Amino acid sequence: MEETNESGQYVVFSIAEQVYALHIDQVIEIIRMQTITEIPEINFHIAGVINLRGKILPVVHLRKRFAMPIAPFTKKTRIVIVHFEGEQVGLIVDEVRMVTLVRDENIDPAPDMFNYVEQECFEGFASTENGLVGILNLKRILLEHISEGEEGKE
Amino acid sequence: MSDMDMAAYMGVFLDEVDEQLQILDEEILNLEQDGENVETIQRIFRAAHTLKGSSAAMGFDNMKELTHKVENVFDLIRNRQLAVNTEIINVIFEAIDYLKVMKEAIINGTLAETNPQPLIDRLEKIRSGADASEPVNAPSSSQKQSDQPEAPVIQFDVYQREVITKVLQDGYQVMAIYIRLVDTCIMKYVRAVLIFNNLKETGEVIASFPSAEEMENEDTFSGEFIYVLATKQTKQEIIQIINHISEIKTVDLTVITSENLEHFCEGKKIQVVQVPLKQEAAAQPKAEQKVKVNPTVRVDVERLEYLMNLVGELVIDQTRLVDVQQRLNNRFDGIDDMVVLGEVSNHLGRVIGELQEGIMKTRMLPIEQLFNRFPRMVRDLGQKAGKDLDFIMEGKETELDRTLIEEIGDPIIHLLRNAIDHGVETPEEREQVGKPRKGRVVLKAAHEENHIVITIEDDGRGIDVEKVTASAIRKGLLTEEAAAKMTDKEKTFLIFGSGVSTAQKVSDISGRGVGMDIVRSNIEKLNGIIDIDTTVGSGTVFSIKLPLTLAIIRSLLVKLADQTFALPLVNVLEIVRLPLNEVKTIKNREVGVIRGRILPLVRLRDRLQIHSSVEENKKRLIVVVVGIADKRVGLIVDQTLGDQEVVIKSLGKYIHVPSYIAGATIMGDGNVALILDVGSIVREEGSKGVAVQEDAEQQVKSCERQLVTFELAGEEYGLDVQCVKDIITVPEITAVMSPPFSVLGIINLRGQLIPVIDMRERFGMSQGEVTKKSRIVVVELQERLVGMLVDRVTEVLKIEEDSIEPAPESGNIQSKFIEGISRFDERLVILLHLDLVLNIEELNDIDVLHYTS
């Protein structure tokens, strides 16, 4: 890795005016909205699959994952393709804002005031010149299928 | 060799081991059939030699040791010092099997745990046995030898023994050369002397048996003799020298060493493998030729998959290119460069198409790869079960997808075992019933349209359906009442139930508790269909029908709301438009009557939870009838779009396995379509049981009857829908010579010739014109199809059983034809007694010759 231990590059995007980030190593590419094919009887937050240059990838609707109100897709809507356990998975976000450098010392754990879903989903929070950015815990987001009713379990 | 080098060569080495072991397996089987084929022996020898060399190079010493011993045994066979027999073949096979074990051990890094020593000892024993003539009296080879006169006996005296010991110490080879002259040869002694003289040029003849004096006597000399020669030349050279003399029938060389000298002193009859010299001479130059193999490259499947994806991308880009080109064309019409762009785009399209086809074909392999494993297995199984077998394989060149080849192996092995163990009788049993002692097992593969059909056929005792049924009842899988209702075919299929077996005793071969149910589920997994055809006493044929490939399937595209789904075409039986009023609800399940059969219906939209604001209110439902094995279900879809080849892609493990979906594919426009897992839907419906279906049928029967109604001279008649097979427009009717009363002629209905009856004439009505509305109602009666020409088909109608009244005396037609009259609203429908209306005997009189003329 080129970065020093103290800082890393993060892809910053927004969902419902809230700002989130993923470490750039986890991100493969960012593409425009695609035609999504729905699949019956799968997890609610998986929007379906897309064709990415001959590969079929599942796409997770982050608004649904975070139990946020569903908004129509716009011109700014993007799919962030990430590495996940040997597969590629797409994440639907409202808008990709930028790629920014965050120093590790500026990352703090999620504050207690957050509810369970939020606590689980964040690796931490970073304060940048653009304000507070939530760094997502990809594994939690993709694997733990928490519904609203299950708050506080574990 | 350093570890790095080892790793680099390991893959190549392992591939080679596989290849050579395969050659050994095949050729040794040939050897067992024909122990004298020089070419076979040469190939075996070469394979063993290669194995020895490469395992030594890789430093696998115990592997090298074992192959070395195997090679030694073949060396003896090659030099005719050892006769091939079952015992030897068995040991060699065990050695080969152990080499396979060792290969696995190399992969797993546990080679040190293997111990080939016992096998090495046994191979060594064979070798020393041959030299020392511990009788290797195989039944096969002893038979061949029995018609041969006694070979002369070697017995060295003390003096000769000393000479031999001395020359051996001096580094000479001592060989006992057995020669037999052609029986009709005259002047045998002269030839013996000629040979003697030739041999003298190569070394020293120490002794001859019989002695020279005995040979001189033309009357008693049989033409069989042995010279003991001390020489420094090789066996091959000696044989060449002897071959200069004509009229020699057999030559055999045995090396005498200090170890086996004692045996010769005690008196030894040389074990002779009889090989006509001529054949050897002819075969030798051939054996030196290299076996010609098409050069091939092994390719990683993943790499192929990768190439396939790239081609997929090309295809999609190509469509987009065409799109852009068209748009530009409108803007820059008449510009030269646009013409060039068009040409390039067209050419690109063609190349991409061919590239795609080529790569898809690369995935196809001849089934030979799989089949080659079987002769060896069949031989071993046959031997264990004490069955004498002829194993025949056909269609080895048939190509199918490599993943399928891997998957279909187990079911075939199981069915072969079944055929050998339960099908084919013991030789004694076969003799008793007048069959040849040797049983026949045929394994065949062939293409049939978009499928591959693999059959496993034996000429054994067949499957006794009653026994199978009894077994199923005993196991509680079936009640006696249910069994009584079943057809023989259905009963035969019971062997696929778990635990049902006709084996009287549990045998080593297939009594391991793995039942035919495994075969069935394996084949269902591959979307295949299995069928059994059996006749007690004369044999059984299992046939497996599979899609050509698992990666690319022909599929029927259907539409549900705005989504496209693909249904594997192998499973699609027919597409029917079903009027809404023919959908019934029985026990909370929707069923439909399709061609007289009650089918469970599945509304795919509901099942797949596809919601759409557009509710279509159609009068008729589109039903795709699908089947797997013997189960049938009707799927209700919105629209059928036609068939297309699709490449199956996995959805990946993140989505887990959604119910009812087998995978996805990318369509021409780049969109993703889901492939329906017909198997899971059919299984779910089918598991609810035949019973439901029977109930349904009864319920429908008890309360109402379904009729096909038609008009004749203004009156409406009805026939039970079960009898009606088809309703067609009037095709060309071929007249027949001197037809029976009212028979118009015959028509060709999908390849079948059926007679057509003019119903007006039959009922004695006035002749009517054949109009646009005229139809032929094809009915089945006593397993024959008959067409009835009617004025017009009105509808398919359901009537209550109790609405039927007895027929009145008078009417347009004779009352004996009338079963009753149904009255509803303003209509009267006359129900017909079909068997009385159609006099089947009369129709049978139509000579078949007329049909074919």
| Lookup: tokens for B415 | 């069915």
Tell me the pLDDT band of B775, cut-offs 50, 70 and 90.
confident
Question: What is the pLDDT at residue A58?
Answer: 92
Collapsing DSSP to helix, strand or coil, B587 comes out as coil
Is the confidence at residue B145, as pLDDT, over 50? no
- B451 given a catalytic annotation: no
The reply to whether B288 belongs to the active site is no
Among chain B residues, CA nearest to A41: B658
Q: Give the number of other CB atoms < 10 A from CB of residue B300.
A: 8
Q: What is the dihedral of CA B650, B651, B653, B655, to 10 degrees?
A: -160
- Neighbouring residues of B606: CB distance < 8 A, sequence distance ≥ 6: none
A59 touches chain B (CB under 8 A): no
Catalytic residue among B79, B418, B522, B571: B418
Residue B687 makes CB contacts below 8 A (sequence gap 6+) with none
Cβ count near B335 (within 10 Å)? 12
- For chain A, helix, strand, coil in percent to 5 are 15, 50, 35
Q: How far apart are CA B646 and CA B553, in angstroms?
A: 5
Contact list, A87 vs chain B (CB under 8 Å): 652-654
Contact A32, A59 (CB under 8 A): no
Residue type, B595: R
What pLDDT does B275 receive?
43
> Is the model's pLDDT at B290 over the cut of 70?
no
Is the CB of A85 less than 8 angstroms away from the CB of B610?
no
Query: Tell me: the pLDDT tens digits for B486-543?
Result: 777 777 777 776 555 554 444 433 433 346 777 877 887 777 778 888 888 888 898 8
Span A95-151, pLDDT tens digits: 998 888 888 777 877 666 666 656 667 888 887 777 788 888 888 888 765 444 343
pLDDT band at B286 (very low <50, low <70, confident <90, very high): very low
Q: Do A87 and B654 touch (CB under 8 A)?
A: yes
The Cβ of residue B371 has, within 10 Å, a number of other Cβ atoms equal to 22
Gap between the terminal Cα atoms of chain B:
79
| Whole-angstrom distance, CA of residue B662 vs CA of residue B608 | 13
Question: Is residue B418 among the annotated active site residues?
Answer: yes
Neighbours of B76 (CB within 10 A): 20
**Do the chains contact at A35 and B653, CB–CB below 8 Å?**
no
Token pair belonging to A16: 């419902």
Round to whole Å and give the CA distance between A16 and A76: 12
Q: What percent of chain B has pLDDT over 70?
A: 81
Element holding B130 (H helix, E strand): helix B117-132
Lowest mean pLDDT among B278-292, B623-637, B824-838: B278-292
Interface residue A39 vs chain B (CB under 8 A): yes
- Report the C-alpha gap between B236 and B349 in whole angstroms: 63
For residue B320, pLDDT beyond 60: yes
Nearest residue in chain B measured CA to CA from A38: B563
Confidence band of A90 (pLDDT split at 50, 70, 90): very high
Predicted pLDDT of residue B840: 66
Q: How far apart are CA B442 and CA B759, in angstroms?
A: 51
B86/B71 Cα distance (integer angstroms): 18
Give the model's pLDDT for residue A11.
92
Smallest CA–CA separation between A118 and chain B, in Å? 22
What's B421's DSSP letter? Answer: I
Using alpha carbons, select from B428, B435, B436, B425 the residue that is nearest to residue B464.
B425
Structure tokens at B27: 């050729």
**A107, A94 Cβ separation under 8 angstroms:** no
- Put simply, the answer to whether A56 touches B660 (Cβ < 8 Å) is no
Share of chain B above pLDDT 90, in %: 1
| Phi, psi dihedral angles at B776 (to 5 degrees) | -110, 120
Chain B residues in contact with A57 by the CB 8 A cut-off are: 652
> Could you tell me if B74 lies within 8 Å of chain A, comparing CB atoms?
no
Select from B657, B424, B404, B413 the least CA-distant residue to B518. Answer: B413
Q: β-strand A46-52 against A55-61: which pairing, if any?
A: antiparallel
Q: Is B657 on the interface with A (CB under 8 A)?
A: no
Which pLDDT value is given to residue B698? 46
CB atoms within 10 A of CB B713: 13
Segment among A73-77, B9-13, B339-343 with least mean pLDDT: B9-13
Rg (CA), chain B: 38
Query: In whole angstroms, what is the distance from residue A107 CA to residue B352 CA?
Result: 51
What's the pLDDT tens digit per position in B386-443? 888 889 998 888 888 777 888 888 888 888 888 888 888 888 888 888 888 888 899 9
- Nearest partner of B18 among B102, B94, B112, B91, judged by Cα: B102
Most confident of the ranges B126-140, B268-282, B501-515, B831-845: B831-845
**Pick the catalytic residue: B71, B524, B582, B716?**
B71
Q: For every residue of B772-794, which 3-state class applies, written as one string? A: CCCEEEEEEECCEEEEEEECEEE
Q: Give the pLDDT confidence score for residue A82 in this predicted structure.
A: 93
**Euclidean distance between CA atoms B332 and B351, whole angstroms:** 26
* Interface with chain B: mutation pick from A42, A79, A144, highest number of B CBs within 10 Å: A42
Q: Per residue in B197-249, pLDDT tens?
A: 778 777 888 888 777 777 777 677 777 888 888 888 777 777 777 777 777 77
pLDDT of A79 over the 90 cut: yes
Q: Tell me: cis bond preceding B295? Omega within 30 of 0 counts.
A: no
Q: Which residues pair with B600 in a beta bridge?
A: B591
Asked if B758 contacts B730 with a C-beta cutoff of 8 angstroms, the reply is no
The Cα B406–Cα B525 span in angstroms is: 13
- The DSSP line for B593-621 is EETTEEEEEEEHHHHTT---S-----SEE
Judge whether residue B279 has pLDDT over 60: no
CA distances to B9, B301, B607, B622 from B613, rounded to whole Å, are 63, 44, 17, 19
ipTM over cut 0.85: no
β-pairing verdict for B529-535 and B661-666: unpaired
Residue B248's CB is within 10 A of a number of other CB atoms, namely: 20
Ranking A45-49, B135-139, B562-566, B607-611 by mean pLDDT, the lowest is B135-139
